[in-house]
Chain A
Amino acid sequence: MTSDPPTQVVAGGWHFFSAQEAALVEAIVDRIIPADELSMGGKEAGCAVYIDRQLMGAFGASSRLYTQGPFLPGLPTQGYQGEANPAQRYRTGLAAIDAFLKQRDGKTFVELAPAEQDAFLTAMEAGKVDLPNGVKGPGFFGLLLQNTMEGFFADPVYGGNKDMVSWRMLGFPGARYDYRDHVSKHNQPYPQPPVSIIGRPEWLGKGA
């Protein structure tokens, strides 16, 4: 049913990625969202777990999208016109990254130093690396970036945003629904901590 409540994603094991793919995605999300004084990194926040579970569902299969041919090249303003769905794009895109780096540097992405990883991702985002198997760097980077941000900022029920880390960082109170007390308190910080669809970590495991 489309109206059913969401199910909590539980970390542990990979549903879509191989171990090697998972390590690569964890390394990438940790450069897109690096650990620093503002927050933990994308890996610890669960962004790779989030992406793994999304790729197993409707998003990965493009099952809600229009997927009939013919598949013709179009203008950027006509949107994505490829035949591959996100699950297929991750499979070929991740393989292409490591194949390219092995050829160029003799190393995989996870073996590069963080500054080298950043340099590679920057070049990929700008379309300055020729990835094998027809993978378009900017398009695949855009997909990685979009999904990493979704995982980091979505409700923790989907496997990322561990302990509502991004919401605490921004000051977003999450799944609250009544701000009537604070509407006219202009320019004053909202005092309550965030809450998720599944509650708050402090509440879980209590009252059983």
Chain B
Amino acid sequence: MTKILPRKDVVIVGLGWTGSILAHELTDQGLDVVAIERGPWRDTATDFNIGYAQDELRYSIRRDLFLQPAVETMTVRNDPSQKALPMRDFGSFLPGNGVGGAGVHWNGHTWRFWDSDFQIKTNLTKKYGASRIADLQVEDWGVTGAEMEPYYDQFEYLAGISGKAGNIKGQLQEGGNPFEDPRSRDYPNPPMQMTYAPTLFAEVGRSIGLHPFPTPSANMSRAYVNPLGIAMGQCTYCGFCERFGCANYSKSSAQTTVLPVLMKKSNFEVRTDSEVLHVDLAPGGKSARGVTYVDTSGEEYFQPADLVLLCAYGLHNTRLMMLSGIGKIYDPGSGEGTVGRNYCYQTNAGVQVFFDDKNFNPFIAAGALGQTIDDYNGDAFDHGALDFVGGAGINCIPTNGRPIGTRPTLPGTPKWGSAWKKATVEGYKSTLGYSSQGSSYATRNNYLDLDPTYKDRFGRPLMRMTFDFPDNDIRMSNYVCDRMEEIAKALGGKQYAVSRRKKGWDSVPYQSTHNTGGAIMGTDPKKSAVNTFLQSWDVPNVFVIGASAFPQNAGKNPTGTVGALAFRAADAIRNQYLRNPGAPLVQA
């Protein structure tokens, strides 16, 4: 028996970064908003306790703060000919759970995508010809870099990003990223203090003609009060960032930048430990009536609302659309359908350089403390004579020295015994690592749909992920690995090792929680699930906000762009949608 609750103006599914931003903006507009969050309530003092937050086993290995596969997982395979099987444990990526979402345990790398990323198909076709991208399914986003700039700025000031501008209103800035698009002003906070490894990496990079700059970081370089009046503390470089909540109010998250203000508002409410099963559509399927959810006692509720915002993790947004019948599920055979289309990931590779005479103190670290080289990212370099498109940021961001997971050793070292131990001690402090974070471009056969066999705890189909690294992306990654080898040689250690990316995506070892696409934005309803304001083409009182909207992924972490898209959607709802609720903002 489903309990029917009093109507709300807005129901938000998921209270992470995007849900918090949308809730804050729409409650400011005077709307009555409820957020329904699958996981628990979490806050700094109660859940990221300074007395025991530095627990590698609990938070990094057993992943206490993450979504548990028993609650929801997905099936995986590399191509449509294989039988997809469930990820019984997460590995390659680790979705978040609970209030704050993955924003609780992210590292904090906060990038802007470039105009050349947004207008990618137009750009690449013009520069290199349509045949260069014939094997790919890349799409324009339908927005320009200049249109996105104010929303990036808004997110960076909300989150107190530490960094150095490379281009302010067209003027190049010494020490910043010369390849970035113009920004209206500098970051709200200066770069963090540099540890030894990224300092050396930057010196050597500069000496061979590259352009290193401090990675834009959501770890505070100094105390900061954001535009909402919320105070954050200076990062203490403890090295327990990724996979951990910050006990020190030094890492931006919904908890440290939005919730202290949002939770006090009388027109906002959150219901935690409550999982939305689906969005309920009106007869005809052209309008949403609200959502159905279930609490931990198994009680089912219907929450009516005029406006439904899917603000869960991107993959979960896509699945909720599939389970709710919002839009048509993509079919790679016919190329028809939009939900599940253009699933992309991240194409990473890494280098380790081993020294005898250096002590990098790897435990002195922060999630986003490091240096980046963008000379080979996106379309910053000419691809005319090359056989691929895309690129990678080269990042020296040593995030930790936590010893269960971080024990670099020379290639060929046994995994146990006295020889293992000796090599482990030798390598621990004296190894410098860096990696390429590569773009991931869409292809016809990389997609999401519903699994025909495996079900979740409520008996609903799991989502099925079909993914492998496209040949284009492997060629890109190998090219950038060659460039990383040049840096390794210039660094001059006693030995170096390159881990190249190979085809046959492996769901087991951790790679990146940058899953994008599935409900992509665009200007053509036949190819995109949402318009450029993230409004569903099919059900206009549903907005789908997250990295699910990326038509493909750049060689950058997605959160900055996710935050900017959230502010852009909020702006569109406040200033356009509410004038004529329920109507499409863009005519198909």
* Chain A residues proximal to chain B, CB less than 8 Å: 2-3, 5-6, 31-34, 36, 38-39, 58-59, 62-68, 70, 72, 74-81, 118, 121, 125, 145, 148-150, 153-155, 157-158, 166-167, 169-180, 182-184, 186-190, 197
Report whether over half of chain A's contact residues are helix, strand or loop; otherwise say mixed.
loop
Q: Are A3 and B47 in contact (CB under 8 A)?
A: yes
Contact partners of B508 in chain A: CB under 8 A:
76-77, 79
Q: Are A189 and B359 in contact (CB under 8 A)?
A: yes
Does B483 touch A at the CB level, under 8 Å?
A: no
Q: Are A33 and B52 in contact (CB under 8 A)?
A: no
Q: Complex formed: what's the CA distance from A77 to B468 in Å?
A: 11
Contacts known (A70-B453, A172-B363, A183-B193); A36 close to B418, Cβ less than 8 A: yes
Q: Which 5 A-B residue pairings sit nearest by Cβ, starting from the closest?
A: A186-B196, A175-B54, A154-B57, A66-B69, A178-B236
Chain B residues numbered 31-60 whose CB sits less than 8 Å from any CB in chain A: 40, 42, 46-47, 49-58
A108 to chain B, nearest CB (A): 20
Q: Are A145 and B416 in contact (CB under 8 A)?
A: yes
Contact partners of A158 in chain B: CB under 8 A:
57
Q: Contact partner of A154 among B50, B199, B404, CB < 8 A?
A: B404
Q: Complex formed: what's the CA distance from A148 to B420 in Å?
A: 13
Nearest A residue (CB) for B429: A171
Q: Complex formed: what's the CA distance from A149 to B403 in Å?
A: 9
Q: List 11 A-B contacts (CB under 8 A).
A: A3-B47, A34-B421, A67-B88, A77-B506, A81-B85, A150-B61, A153-B56, A172-B401, A184-B194, A197-B54, A197-B55
The total of chain B residues at the interface (CB under 8 A) is 74
Contacts known (A65-B70, A72-B85, A75-B82); A150 close to B404, Cβ less than 8 A: yes
Q: Complex formed: what's the CA distance from A55 to B326 in Å?
A: 43
Q: Are B424 and A65 in contact (CB under 8 A)?
A: no
Nearest A residue (CB) for B67: A64
Does B445 touch A at the CB level, under 8 Å?
A: no
Contact partners of A175 in chain B: CB under 8 A:
52, 54-55
Q: Are B358 and A177 in contact (CB under 8 A)?
A: no
Does B62 touch A at the CB level, under 8 Å?
A: yes
Q: Complex formed: what's the CA distance from A186 to B398 in Å?
A: 14
Contacts known (A65-B88, A72-B85, A182-B364); A38 close to B425, Cβ less than 8 A: yes
A185 to chain B, nearest CB (A): 8
Q: Are B403 and A172 in contact (CB under 8 A)?
A: yes
Contact partners of A150 in chain B: CB under 8 A:
57, 61, 404
Contact partners of A36 in chain B: CB under 8 A:
418, 421
B370 to chain A, nearest CB (A): 13
Instruction: Name 14 extra pairs, CB < 8 A, besides A38-B421, A145-B415.
Output: A39-B421, A64-B62, A65-B89, A76-B508, A80-B89, A125-B415, A148-B416, A155-B55, A155-B56, A170-B425, A176-B363, A177-B54, A184-B194, A197-B55
Q: Complex formed: what's the CA distance from A167 to B68 in Å?
A: 30
